[in-house]
Amino acid sequence: MGRFNRIGVLTSGGDAPGMNAAVRAVTRLALLKGIEVFGIYNGYRGLIEGEMEQLGERDVSYIINRGGTMLYTARSEEFKTKIGIDKAVETCRKFGLDGIVTIGGDGTFRGAVELTDAGVPCIGIPGTIDNDVASTDATIGYDTAMNTVVELVDKLRDTGESHSRCNVVEVMGRESGDIALNTAIAVGAVCAVVPEMPTDFDKLYTKMITARKNGKRNFIIITSEGVGKDYCEHLCDEIREKTGIETRFVRPAHIQRGGSPTLRDRVLATQMGCAAVESLVSGQMKRVVCLRGSAIETMDIHEALYLDKMMKNQLTKEEEDLIPPNRLYDMRRMVADRLALKEYLNYMITNIVL
């Protein structure tokens, strides 16, 4: 592969605190290596329509502390079609882009695969508050979102204590219960309801009734949005019926996506942004940058997408047959480890928090 002289960077899907830090790192390191950088606005839609401009060092100043994404984000149905892909490739040729760094979730990575197959090398950076990209231990924005939830629930607990209430709080995460499980521990919740495992509600209600008799005034229950629409409203009704405790429902919703990124997200985004540039200029493509333990690594995007499907029990037999046996073993072990961690977190909530 020839030298990279000019690359693009885009953010796609839902925004996440820390995306700006990743854009900053990609831009600064690429410029240091003598590579021109073009910021692509509004994700893949902007790529199709040619919404981009060249970025200099000062263009990414004072953004590391800002939430959201300076490049904005938008979803594109057209990009999911061959015509849309062809338009995007033509735009890359028009602007002379030799490759693209894409920042987002699994949908963003699928787009990166399509572009690479069409002749535009891409590297993916996981940016989503949901932490539902199975190939990485943490995604950009995840830590900030959890801290936002903790701050909000701490305030909610103050009024819950005053009025002797139970509050059911629905947090984001899509099909992943990571935000719910971790924040439940951090705020002293009596339960976390997540898609990955069942909840023993009879045990929960008995626990709440006993705690109330022993003087506990407030209760917090954290639920993940992945358990279903209108689930929390029905749960509130059931809690009132089974325990007699006044119960209110709270949905922080998109507040969880906003705000200045935490130190952890700023550092992680910077590490991943630099790794993406290094990978791209070394000739790697169709890779996802991942955090494994304390190390920043890359993984084949196809494997990363298969791993996501495996985690969500959506991997087909045909797709499984495409994975080499040794890699299939590794991927199954990764899924088992993640599920075991979730079960351990849930164990602590269920048996330690009162």
For the annotated catalytic residues, the residue numbers are 130
Nearest to 120 by CA among 286, 299, 289: 286
Sign of the Cα torsion 202, 343, 223, 110 reads negative
For residue 191, list its beta bridge partners: 221
> In whole angstroms, what is the distance from residue 239 CA to residue 193 CA?
13
Angle made by CA atoms 163, 255, 294, in degrees to the nearest 5: 110
> In whole angstroms, what is the distance from residue 167 CA to residue 183 CA?
14
User: CB atoms < 10 A from the CB of 104, how many?
Assistant: 30
Pairing type for strands 166-171 and 295-300 reads: unpaired
User: CB atoms < 10 A from the CB of 248, how many?
Assistant: 15
E-strand ranges in 86-218 read 99-104, 122-126, 166-171, 191-193
Describe the strand order of the beta sheet including 99-104 as a list of residue ranges: 52-55, 36-40, 6-11, 99-104, 122-126, 287-292, 295-300
